[in-house]
Structure 1
Amino acid sequence: MSAFRMYVRVVSPTLTPEEISDRLGLQPDEAHAVGSRRRPDHPPRAFTSWMRHATAATPEARPEDLEPVVLGWGHEFARALGQLADAGGEVSLVIVQRIEDPENTAATGIFLGRPLIDWLSTAKGSLDIDQYVHHDCR
């Protein structure tokens, strides 16, 4: 399993996943509607979330390996995301980093190139980095 995952997320308190898909012209890899539940005992979701995952050919993918995948979605998609952001949706590029060995330099550090930053700017999105350290420090 890669130490990194990357995806675009759209969050909206009013739109359904189908409406977001229609506006973006793409289907999500994952979506959750307002009112749905993670589990039966959890409260209903207060917002819709729509996600498109960047996947790479190798399991050791780093953010710079996933960057071409996101850029390959094109500037039309980024512009459509920006229009959703203007209409009240929240757009973000999410990077999840899992660190199991702090000494493994391939699993640490995050680099984002200017083309990806420009794409994210067109999408009027934010950057969300989640880092999880799983290490026994005895």
Structure 2
Amino acid sequence: MIRAYLRVASSDLRLAEITEFLGIQPDDSHDIGDQSLSRPTHRYLWSSWQRHLDLGESISGGTEGLSSAIEGLEFGLADALGVLAARSCDVALVVVQELDDRGDTGLHLTAPAIRWLARAGALVDVDQYVEGASFSRAASNWIEGRMWDLRKVRWALLRGGGVGRRNGQRP
């Protein structure tokens, strides 16, 4: 499954200023000084404006719906976001992808979608979460294999062998 949203974050502008400038109400938001719902003792040091993208009902866990959703956005919004990005706001397309044993693990962005994001001055922030026992096991095995390789490199360095040396000889 995949979901995505546009996010504007600013430590200078208040939420009301961002919303007024964009002319669109956020789906989720918080203002500078608001109390965090997940951490009651924490107050936000930045404003955050978020607008969810409608990815529609699509195959491949929604990956092809991402480009369609971006391409369907108005260029006026991209231009307004670009102005905010130039004013030191962080503008991002945030993609949250839950990976499992059944779905695709890739993301597909078309050239027009990339052009829209560039016009908006947006970075792409991808969060991926692993679901499913066999996928988790495969990921864990892959990581363990890489850790073994790193331990061998560390051992070689401690022995004075160094990276790029073969049989103790310099390259």
Q: Which structure exhibits the higher relative contact order, with contacts defined as CA atoms closer than 8 Å and separated by 6 or more residues? A: 1
More strand by share: 1
Alpha-carbon distance between aligned partners in 2 of 1:88 and 1:59, rounded to the nearest angstrom: 35
Alpha-carbon distance between aligned partners in 1 of 2:70 and 2:30, rounded to the nearest angstrom: 21
Partner of residue 91, structure 2: 91
Deviations, residues 63-89 of structure 1 (Å, cap 9, x unaligned):
321322222221110000000001110
Alpha-carbon distance between aligned partners in 2 of 1:123 and 1:56, rounded to the nearest angstrom: 19
Amino acid at match of 1:76: G
Deviation at 1:38, TM superposition (A): 2.3
TM-score under structure 1 length normalisation: 0.87
The aligned length equals 133
Alpha-carbon distance between aligned partners in 1 of 2:127 and 2:55, rounded to the nearest angstrom: 19
Conserved in 1, the CA contact under 8 Å of 2:100 and 2:132?
A: yes
CA change 1:100–1:42 in 2 (3 A) is: farther
Alpha-carbon distance between aligned partners in 2 of 1:69 and 1:42, rounded to the nearest angstrom: 37
TM-score under structure 2 length normalisation: 0.71
Alpha-carbon distance between aligned partners in 1 of 2:11 and 2:62, rounded to the nearest angstrom: 32
More helix by share: 2
Conserved in 2, the CA contact under 8 Å of 1:14 and 1:47?
A: yes
Alpha-carbon distance between aligned partners in 1 of 2:36 and 2:127, rounded to the nearest angstrom: 20
Partner of residue 55, structure 1: 54
Bigger radius of gyration among the two: 2
Percent identity of the aligned residues?
36
Gaps of 5+ in 1: none
